[in-house]
């Protein structure tokens, strides 16, 4: 494999290298997309999140609660809201 790569013309090597670098950044983008990395503390803040017993709403609730916000889960199903509340405040 290495000898095959070394035998390639210089221009092809450059193109392969560029594709490799672009592929790395694309993979990084796909793997980290949607991830909030803000370290900002939210103590003394209150947030109300609708549909927060699942999906994006719940993930948002977990992150904001971890950062100190008082999170109000606004959900239509009390049982599911209660289950989510446990997970949000346990994390």
Q: Is residue 85 within the footprint of ligand NAP (CB under 6 A)?
A: no
Pick the binder of ligand NAP from 1, 4, 39, 76 (CB under 6 A): 76
Pick the binder of ligand NAP from 43, 55, 79, 86 (CB under 6 A): 55
Q: Buried (b) or exposed (e) across 47-63, using 16+ Cβ within 10 A?
A: eebeebbeeebbbbbbb
Nearest to 44 by CA among 74, 68, 66: 68
Q: How far is the CB of 24 from ligand NAP (least distance, A)?
A: 23
The residue ranges that bind ligand NAP (CB under 6 A) are: 51, 53-57, 75-77, 80
């Amino acid at each position: 494999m290495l000898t095959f790569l070394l035998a390639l013309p210089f221009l092809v090597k450059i193109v392969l290298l560029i594709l490799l670098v672009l592929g790395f950044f694309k993979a990084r983008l796909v793997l980290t997309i949607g991830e909030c990395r803000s370290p900002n503390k939210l103590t003394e803040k209150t947030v109300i999140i609708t549909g927060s017993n699942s999906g994006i709403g719940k993930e948002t609730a977990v992150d904001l609660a971890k950062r100190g916000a008082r999170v109000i889960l606004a959900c239509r199903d009390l049982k599911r809201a209660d289950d989510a509340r446990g997970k949000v405040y346990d994390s």
